[in-house]
Structures are given as C-alpha cells and as structure tokens.
Structure 1
Amino acid sequence: MRNKMRFLNVLLLAIIFTIIVGCSSDSSSSENRTNNSSNGNTSGENNKGESGEVVELSFWDMSWGPSEYITAAEEIVDQFNREHPDINVTYQSTPWANWYQTFTTAIASGTAPDISTGAGFQAFQFYGQDAILPIDDVIEEWEAEGKLDDFYPGTIEAMQYDGHYLALPWGLDTRVYWYRKDLFEDAGVEVPTNWEEFREAANQLTDGDGQYGLAIEGGANNGVHTLFTLIFNNGGGIFTEDGHVELVNNELNQEAIQFLADLQADGSINPASPGMGQDDALNSFGQGNAALYLGTPGTRGEFPEITDEVGILPALESPNGNKGTVMWVNNIMLYKQTEHPEEAKTFLKWWSENQLPLWTEGNSNQLPARVSFSEEPYFQEDQDYKFVYDEYIPNAFTTSTYFNGSFPELNEIEGDGVLQSLAQQILSGKDVMSSMEEAEGGLQEIMGE
C-alpha cells in the first residue's frame, strides 16, 4: 500500500511539473511570436489581424512608365513585405485602357483594392460614391512630425475636399514647351522668353511649305492642356476662390485665349491641329514639321534619334509679367472596402517614403512630389528635370486654381469635352468671346450652377 501511495505521489509530481513546463513554454512561444511580428516593422505596430494571421492587402498601381516601372514597383512592394512580415501586399499593375470601368466595377462588386494610384481626380470622384477612405489622421500625424514639409507647396492642399484629405500626392504631371534647336538655328530665330517673342518666333518658323511654328493635338487632351497652360501662364483661372466658374468675366482668361487665337490667325499653327490625334502633333514635331510642341518633362525620350536637337523653352513671361503652367497632382488613395485600414495606412506611409526607385530604376513619366526626391542626383544631374524643377514647377498651377483644393466635378470637366470643344473652336478660327461663353455654360452645367 505504501509503495502504491509513493507511486501515485511521484506520478502527481510529474504531472504538475509537466503542466508548469508547458505553461512556461507557451508563454515563451507567445513572447517569441510577438517579437517576430514586430521585427522589421518600421511602424512599430503589431499589424497582425485579430486571428493572428498575416494581413493581406491588394495594391493596384497604374502604368506610370515603361516596363521597367512595373519591375521597380514590384521590387519596392517585395521590400515592404520583407520588412513587414505581418502584412503581405499583392501588387497589380493596372492598364489605363478602360481604367474607369475597372475601378467602378470593382467598387460596385465589393472587390475594390485596399489601396491604389489612379487618375488625378479619381479619389474625389469615388469619394462622392462613398468609396474612398479619408486619411486625415495620416496628415495630422505627419504634420506634427514635420513630414509634410517634404511635399511641394500646394500639393497637400490639393488633396482636400469636403473638409477631409482624400489622398497623398506622389507625382507631378506638368506641361512645358519644347523647341527644335535645329529649326531655330536654320531660321536664325532666337529662343523666346515671353509671349511676344513666342508669337514672332512661331510666325518666322512657318515657311508655307509644310513647316509650322506650332502643332497642337486639338482632337485629344493636348488642346485642353494648351488652354490651361496659357490661362495659368497669364495668371488666370477658370474658378473663383469659392469654387464658382469664372471663365468669361476674367480678363486674364480672355487675354490668354485671344493669344491662342492670334497664333491661329497668323497661320503659325498647323491647320490640321483641330483634328489631330494623340500622337499626330508629337510626330509632326519629331519629323521637323513643327518647331514648337507642348509636352511633358520627358518628351525628349520620344526622339532618341534627334535628342540633341530638342530643348525646353524657359518659362514664358506673359504681357502682365506672370509665369506659369498647368500641373496635375497624381496621388495614392485608400478604399472604404478595406478590412484592414490601419495596415493599409502603414503601407501608404511606407510607400510614400520609399518610392524613389520608381524614377531612378523605373523611369516613371511623372516628377516626384517630394522635395527630397527632387534633390537627388538623378534629377539634379539631368538637364531636363533640373530645368523643369527650377523654371516651371515653382510656377505650376492645378486645374482647380484659384479654389483651394479639388472636387469630383474636375474629372468630368476634363473628360466631358467642353474645354476640348473650346480648344477646337479657337484652333478653327471661331470667335473668341462666343466660344468662351459657350464653354462657360457647359462648365456651369457640370458644376450645377
């Protein structure tokens, strides 16, 4: 009996010891898991979902450059995933063809991404459909940390609507005037620095034998971009500070559009411009049939055979002494359908601070919205990029100028055809005031005025 009791006591002690060791092992394993979950997490946050599983995020990124861009973007996402073992971001390159239908279908079906880049006013349009998640807390956090100072002036403000910040700026899409150095030299024409000299140069470089001073894609967006460039160059704008349409009653707008009409009346613009497609004017410039072309900062790359024969004009001075051009602030946004908003914001902030390889390796066709990126040798040692940053970006204005912020109707204004029709009418020699009045009516209808 005594031996039996001794055996039972030993068995009981063994069971108790096993339980103690088991609890200690569980505690140690739990601590190890917690440490691993934050290892490499630059945000310092535990990003696992409530179930303890890795959080899955989908990121749709538009095609902002050549094939190298997609490779660079995928590598940046891979880096994020390595540094954040509790978040896994899946990258999807989204083509521009039918982009609007792609996003609207995804939103309607409940399959929107957690985060995406997109068209300049996409966040504002989809916010009106209750599909965009504001990032006021991110802006407040970065403002307190002084990180907003790294964005170019006005770009953060351009993300405001309805009392909220809807996205983070990442890319600047602006327009600059390119010229054919060889044609200017052959004609003995000096590089223009103001409107008067520009008009004179365009006239002198029109030879009546198929060569024109200027070609404009009136049948595509380039015609609208030309209107915006001249309006902002002259200090005008199509909106008042409170967001109302003011196209006709602004004398600066009248003067700008009249200048375009004068170029047309001089015969300095290719008469085929009203119907030119997206590549027509660009090809005309490349073939030497146009001496001037309104393009992007990367237009030189379109002409590898004549790269030494093209250059960028200085920012032109208008008759009243203003300089300026148009600029779109492309951005990155979150969607309300996301099941992991905090993790999506972690990726949003990290991506914003670590996306320099999109340019240095991916050859993005935008310019960075971050000042620190623009100061990198990649931009400062490139003659075109540095020139645009120095000459144009300080005088670049968004299409909502002078309204402080953006709004959903801007997407429709640029895509509806009202301003495209105005550009085509001016390029066709129609009366300036009646054309402007017609366009103003269309803009007011879009704005519900």
Structure 2
Amino acid sequence: MKTTKLVLLTTALVLSAVGCSDSGQPSPKADPGQPAAKSNPPAGNEAAAQLQFWDMVWGPPEYIDTAKALVDQFNKEHPNIKVNYQSTPWNNWYQTFTSAIAAGTAPDISTGAGYQAFQFSQMGAILPIDDVIDDLKKNGKLDDFLPNTADLMKYDGHYVSLPWAIDIRVPYYRKDLFEKAGVTPPKTWDELRTVAKKLSGGGKYGMVMPGDTGGTHYVFSFMFNNNGGLFTKDKKIDFTNARNTEAIQFLSDMVKDGSINPAGSGFTGDDATKSFGQGDAAIIIKNPGFPAQLPELKDKIGLMDPLTGPHGDKGTIFWVNNIMLYKQSKHPKEAKEFLKWWSDNNKPLWLKGHVTQLPVRKTFTEDPYFTNDPERKEILEKWIPIGKTTAYPYPAVFPELNEIEGEGVMQTMTQEIMLGKNPKSIMDKADKTMKSIMKEK
C-alpha cells in the first residue's frame, strides 16, 4: 500500500465521526495533522511485546482514568505484553490517524469513529480479525454480543473490527411543558403532530431541530421509523422511495404547522439543547444520557416511547462503535489477545467511566447499573432492538457512509426542510448527490 494513497483522500471523509463520536464532553486540543504522541515503554519491562493503544475520549475525565486502570490491570495479568495507553482527542482525529499510518507509526490497536475501520480497511491499513471472531464463536462468547452488531463489522469478506458500544438517537420531552399544555407523550405520528401544535405558539415550539449534523439524525430517525432507508438490500441508492418521501413530507408539514422552529436551520446541537433547556421547545432528539446535560431539569425531562409510524413500523438511527487493529503492528498476536481481553473486561467504562453510549455485551447490560436506571433500561429494551444503521436495509456498513453522513448532503437537506422548501426538489437533489458518492449513474 503506497502511502501517497493515504494522503490524497477527499476532505469530506474527515467528517466521518458524525453522530457516532459524540462523548458529550469537550475534547482537548490537538495540533492539526500531527499524530498522537507515543507513550514511552516503562523501564524494567523491555522484553514484553510493546503495544500502543489509542483510545478516543468517550466520556468525562473519569473515563480516561478508568480506561488507564483497565490497561494497568491487563499489564499485570499479562507480563509478556505491555500496553501503552494514549488518550486521543477528537479534534483533528482524522489527520492524527492518517498521518500516523502514512508515517508508519500507526498504533497497534485503537477505538475510533463509527466508520473508521471500514475507511482505513479500504486503504489497506486495518488487520482483519476473522480468527478472533472464530475464537469467540468457539467459546460461545460471540452469543454475548447484541444481535446484528458483530456482523455489521464485516467488510469485503472480512471482519475488520470488534463492536464495543452503541450510540443511538431517542426523543426526550419536557414533562412540565406537556403537563401545562394538557397533553401526554404521543404514540403515533398523527398524535405527535397534534401534540406539537398544542405546544407551539408565542415563540415556543413543539420540537427543536438543529441544522447541523444533529438535525440529520431527526431525518434518519423518521425515515427509519417508517421503514425507509437510503439504500436497497443490494446497496443501491433508493432515497426517493415512498416511505422516505412520506417521512420528509411529515417533517415539512410540521414546519408549516409552526411546530418546528424555522430558525433551527442555523442552530448547532448546543443551540438546540439551550432552546430545549430554556423551555422554548418541548421535544428534542438526542443521545442516551442527555438529561445529565441539563442537571437542573433532570426531573422534568422524560424519555418518549418509540413512535408507531403510519404503516405500523418502529425504528431510529444508531451506530455501532468499534475497536480495530492495524496492519503495521509488529505484534498482531498480542494485539488480538488484548482486543479479546478488553472486550471481556471493559464494563467499568460504564460503571466508573460514565460512558453515555450503551454496551454491546448482553452480560454487561444485566448489571444493576443498567437494570436499575429507568432511562438506560428503557433504551436497551425498547430502542436498541429497533435501531438501524445508515446503510439500512443493506446488512453491513461500508466506507462511503463517511461521505453520505459527512459530506453535507443530509445537513443541507435538513436545513431546506426547515426553510420550507419543496420536499420533492430537495430529495431529488440529495438523491443525485448520493448516487454520485456511490458512483451510480
């Protein structure tokens, strides 16, 4: 693999962390284009195989402390392997990894953005882990992964990563505003439209939808809630299908009703959170754990049940985040050993590290940390089973989704919905762009 190929990628792919890398926490600054700093091997353990583990910032400061403690535990249990932990910020993450790969200084193992393993596998930089999957099957551990998570990690006939967490979008509502308006949480699209109208007026809106990437999650959620999707089962663009059209028209109708703030076209996700927190909007779609971002309103924020679409369907968008190995590793056997150990033992990342995403291991979700928390329990039981990836109904993930989500086509369409533009024209334009990305005529 020539390194020149690594540095000629389109800048659009830089945005592939969309939706799946949000830790809800500010990230430390990183110098653009510079690889993450390597940790020096500790003295006294030079004979051990040295592994570099680059872990993204998936939560608050206690996340990093917890991850470091886990690495220390592994090192004590495996004297023949020394894992050096590197906390890697999201700022300029793409340049960090591509620069390291091009320079021959890639880590042995890393976590990363939802499509990162597929993107770098296309470059020839990712080490397949088919043997790891086979081992998990043989010892029965693969059955501990939530359905349709491990198989999503297959690309070009090989498993390129191992899933560890799920990021998903769910709707929250202001209990106090609903009570004041004399309405209850909706169960169907028709009920949502009626409730949103009653909650709107006088500068207040039933729902706030930002014009950035976070707003595209609303569009995906409603399309999947109507069993729509961007693709056919054989990976052809199918954006203008009847179910998607119905979903886009519904959102457009809500804008016309005055139920969605049109100024949201210029909102960021933080702006939307502020609007919701100030009581200017009653419904918002966010990631698990969102109420913790507004601690003063925590008791006033409720999680809605999945809506039933016009044809009886339920669904929303989710991403399966993963952990991957790199071909440059001088110790692939030891890296795979650490990968399996990390997957088996990283439950403390939730219990102590407070990751806002949800684990893919069934046994982890049975912990009281999840079963005794109403919000986490409800998302795991009601929302995770109906989650769909951007590739739906195609059964796996692929590199082009980086551009589909990050190039700007979905953001532009979301903004145009809020600006009241014709749904058919904006869908036709988006369809043309997506076909270009997929190299379809």
TM-score normalised to structure 2 length = 0.89
1:206 pairs with 186, 200, 209, which one? 200
Q: Which amino acid aligns with 1:302?
A: Q
Counterpart position of 2:312: 321
Report the RMSD for the aligned CA atoms in angstroms: 1.1
Counterpart position of 2:231: 239
Q: Which amino acid aligns with 2:204?
A: Q
Q: What is the deviation of 1:228?
A: 0.7
Q: What is the deviation of 1:211?
A: 1.1
Q: Which amino acid aligns with 2:210?
A: E
Q: Which amino acid aligns with 1:244?
A: K
Q: What is the deviation of 1:52?
A: 9.0
Counterpart position of 1:251: 242
Alignment of 1:333-352 (within 5 A): 333-352=324-343
Contact 2:400 2:437 in 1 (8 A): yes
Counterpart position of 1:377: 368
Deviations, residues 72-124 of structure 1 (Å, cap 9, x unaligned):
00000000000001100010111111111111111111111000000000000
Q: Which amino acid aligns with 1:223?
A: G
1:195 pairs with 181, 186, 189, which one? 189
Counterpart position of 1:434: 425
Q: What is the deviation of 1:144?
A: 2.0
What residue ranges of structure 1 are gaps of 5+ in the alignment?
1-50
Residue 140, structure 1, aligned to residue 134, structure 2: yes
Counterpart position of 2:21: none
Mapped partners of 2:304, 2:138: distance in 1: 40
Counterpart position of 2:254: 263
Q: What is the deviation of 1:278?
A: 2.5
Q: What is the deviation of 1:190?
A: 1.4
Residue 215, structure 1, aligned to residue 208, structure 2: yes
Q: Secondary structure at the match of 2:323?
A: strand
Counterpart position of 1:12: none
Mapped partners of 1:428, 1:158: distance in 2: 36
Mapped partners of 1:387, 1:404: distance in 2: 25
2:302 pairs with 284, 307, 311, which one? 311
Q: Which amino acid aligns with 1:317?
A: T
Mapped partners of 2:72, 2:203: distance in 1: 52
Alignment of 1:355-374 (within 5 A): 355-374=346-365
Q: What is the deviation of 1:388?
A: 0.6
Which protein shows a greater Rg? 1
Mapped partners of 1:199, 1:222: distance in 2: 21
More helix by share: 1
Deviations, residues 279-334 of structure 1 (Å, cap 9, x unaligned):
00011101111000001111010111111100000011001011111000000000
What residue ranges of structure 2 are gaps of 5+ in the alignment?
1-44
2:218 pairs with 213, 226, 250, which one? 226
Q: What is the deviation of 1:70?
A: 0.4
Mapped partners of 1:372, 1:194: distance in 2: 33
Contact 2:261 2:418 in 1 (8 A): no
Mapped partners of 1:413, 1:203: distance in 2: 32
Q: Secondary structure at the match of 1:227?
A: helix
2:119 pairs with 121, 125, 136, which one? 125
Deviations, residues 402-424 of structure 1 (Å, cap 9, x unaligned):
11211111111111001111111
2:403 pairs with 375, 395, 412, which one? 412
Moved over 4 A (4+): none
1:174 pairs with 154, 168, 176, which one? 168
Q: Secondary structure at the match of 1:329?
A: strand
Q: Which amino acid aligns with 1:295?
A: K
Deviations, residues 121-148 of structure 1 (Å, cap 9, x unaligned):
0000011111000101111111122211
Deviations, residues 126-185 of structure 1 (Å, cap 9, x unaligned):
111110001011111111222111111111111011001100000100000000000000
Alignment of 1:71-86 (within 5 A): 71-86=65-80
Alignment of 1:56-75 (within 5 A): 56-75=50-69
Counterpart position of 1:26: none
